[in-house]
Structure 1
């Protein structure tokens, strides 16, 4: 089934779908990162926004 962007109900705003380019770009902008970095984070910790945000903060800190 196609993703209908005109319908706002049923969308889980706690999860990131990196398979939809427009959604990955939107989340990347919101989280101040690149779409590629976002995909890496989702691959590492899953698609939950809170986990991705935590991963990005940890990985951006200098060692």
Structure 2
């Protein structure tokens, strides 16, 4: 058995768990940011996907 959970919609799409490798990878890809930037955003505003999206919009690509 592998450590990754199947991607069958079981993950909570409203929260981001940066401690799960597959979620960190999938959310980073989905939001178009590096895993490090995603962790920074979650640290700044919490794990709610809506708040993270807003934070990343305000930060912009070069900030």
**TM-score, with structure 1 as normaliser:** 0.80
Counterpart residue number, 2:39: 39
Following TM superposition, where does structure 1 have runs of at least 4 consecutive aligned residues deviating by more than 4 angstroms?
7-10
Superposition RMSD in Å = 2.3
Task: Structure 2 unaligned segments of length 5 or more: list them.
Answer: none
Instruction: State the partner residue of 1:26.
Output: 26
Partner residue, 1:17: 17
Is 1:54 aligned to residue 50 of structure 2?
Answer: no
Shift of the 7–59 alpha-carbon distance from structure 1 to 2, 3 Å rule, reads: closer
**TM-score, normalized by length of structure 2?**
0.80
Aligned residues: 60
